[in-house]
Amino acid sequence: KEDSAKEECKLLSSSSSSSSSMETIDIQELFTRLTLDVFLNIAFGIDLQVITNPEKYRAFTEALDEIQSLCHERFNDLFYHIKQRFNLTRREKRIKECAKIIDDFTYEIIDRAQQRRRDDNQPRGENDKISGNNGIVDEDQDVIKGKKSSQRFDLLSSYIHTANKDDENLSKKELRDSIMTFIFAGRDNTARALTWVLYDLTKHPTVTNKVIEEIESKCGVPGDANSDFSFETVVNNLPYLHAVIMESQRLHPTVPENFRMAVKDDTLPDGTKILAKSCVMYSAYTMNHSELYWGDDADEFNPDRFMNRLEPSPYLFPIFNAGYRLCPGKPLALTEIKVTLARLLPSYEFVDAKNHTGKCRWTITMAMDGGFHVAVRRRENKAGSRT
């Protein structure tokens, strides 16, 4: 959603009032707001403008973060099934509290979206409101006002339409599960990926300059009347930016490890026997840093390893999983990352404000520990005017 990238540019612009001054922000937190905005729009067809109204949705976003960290702790607890079933520990109690916050928010948006479908032949005016269960969400944003459901695409509408066509009834819980899977995957993974790319670029200014040169040569200068930042141009015509993203994901995979529980006895292709209820784990982080696969410079940032070559097999480079488990949101995530960076990098200079060591916070996803605080300054464009 290009509009969200533009909103982020506006927010950064307000944080960097002049080319000579540099304001410090936590870009990881800002990217998380951006991706939540984008994926809520895709999932529900609404624009909550989380980017510019973070406090309004802070309880929901903090619950999302906390529940992932708490659930990750279960992997190191042999008795978590018992504790979960009987709600024995503070952790399990808190998981339920976070789940209720998330459910309240999600169910209200589902109610609102379903009501919108029922009223889609009655375009809303500027002051119309649809109240939900708790008043968490209180009004439609400009991007969807006056549009019928048939004129919009969102996952919720698609699920309902498909179910109606097949004479199936989807429960709210089924809708919630499908939508939250999408939001969990899209919000955190994409935001983490954006943050790690920017971190790598702050450490490698030569690479940054090369990326900006490619963007300006293929897309033009931001703000110029002849510039072209369309999805087609950004996604298909910036091979070096793509290589930078892939290399950053290799070094800092947003999902560093993956677990699967066997529902029945199974046998792996090499003959290894897997018993029912066994947990099987692979580490994308370890694979991505293996000198066996990537050479002696496996721990170094080198985007050129992804230039002028086919993308490695997902079984070797499983940042989006592989096979039947290949992430269906891969094209969308890469598009959002590319569009955001193509908009930001030529317009703003980013400097690591606290000399971050690259230490990560390892939960279900791999975030930068303590966030990533950058000093931001607007660049002068080719014509000498500020973007």
Predicted confidence (pLDDT) per residue in 93-131, tens digit = 999 999 999 999 888 888 877 777 677 645 544 444 333
Alpha-helical regions (H) of the chain = 2-15, 27-44, 58-73, 80-86, 90-118, 155-165, 172-183, 189-203, 205-219, 231-236, 239-251, 284-288, 291-294, 330-344
In a domain, 353, yes or no: yes
Per DSSP, the three-state class of 376 is strand
Torsion of CA 142, 180, 36, 328, to 10 degrees: -100
Q: In this structure, what DSSP letter does residue 143 have?
A: T
Is 146 a domain residue? Answer: no
Q: Is residue 132 part of a domain?
A: no
Interacting residues of 231 by C-beta distance below 8 A, sequence separation 6+: 2, 335, 339
Tell me the whole-structure pTM to 2 decimals: 0.83
Q: What is the three-class DSSP state of 280?
A: strand
Structure confidence at residue 167 (pLDDT): 64
Half-sphere exposure at residue 335, Cβ-oriented, CA atoms within 13 angstroms = 16
Q: Give the per-residue pLDDT at 129.
A: 39
Q: Which CATH number belongs to the domain containing residue 35 in this structure?
A: 1.10.630.10
Contact present, 279 and 260 (Cβ < 8 Å): yes
Q: Tell me, yes or no, whether 138 lies in a domain.
A: no
pLDDT of residue 212: 97
Residue 352: in which H helix or E strand, if any?
A: strand 348-352
- pLDDT digit of tens for each residue in the chain (387 aa)? 555 555 556 556 555 544 556 778 999 999 998 888 888 887 777 777 788 777 878 888 899 889 988 988 888 888 888 999 899 999 999 999 999 999 998 888 888 777 776 776 455 444 443 333 344 444 444 333 434 444 556 777 777 777 666 666 778 888 888 778 878 777 889 999 999 999 999 999 999 999 999 999 999 887 788 888 888 899 999 999 999 999 999 999 999 998 888 999 999 989 999 999 898 889 999 999 999 999 999 999 999 999 999 989 999 999 998 888 888 888 889 999 999 999 899 999 999 999 999 999 888 889 999 999 999 988 876 544 444
Chain-centre distance for alpha carbon 322: 19
Q: Residue 108 falls within a domain, yes or no? A: yes
CA separation (Å) from 264 to 71, 278, 326?
23, 9, 22
Which pLDDT value is given to residue 126? Answer: 45
Q: Report pLDDT digits (tens) over 45-92.
A: 777 778 877 787 888 889 988 998 898 888 888 888 899 989 999 999
Model pLDDT, residue 185: 77
Q: Which residues pair with 373 in a beta bridge?
A: 26
Q: Amino acid identity, residue 299?
A: D
Q: What percent of the chain has pLDDT over 90?
A: 43
To the question of whether residue 327 is assigned a binding role by annotation, the answer is yes
Asked whether residue 140 is assigned to any structural domain, the reply reads no
Neighbours of 344 (CB within 10 A): 20
147 occurs within a structural domain: no
Per the structure, how many domains does the chain have? 1
- Is 112 within the bounds of a domain? yes
- Separation CA 317–CA 313 (nearest Å): 6
Domain range for residue 53?
2-119+155-378
**Rounded to 5 degrees, what are φ and ψ at 282?**
-125, 150
Task: Collect all residues with Cβ–Cβ distance below 8 Å to 319 and sequence separation of at least 6.
Answer: 249, 250, 253, 254, 255, 284, 288
Please give the backbone phi and psi of residue 279, each rounded to the nearest 5 degrees, phi first: -100, 125
- Rounded Cα distance, 368 and 157, in Å: 35
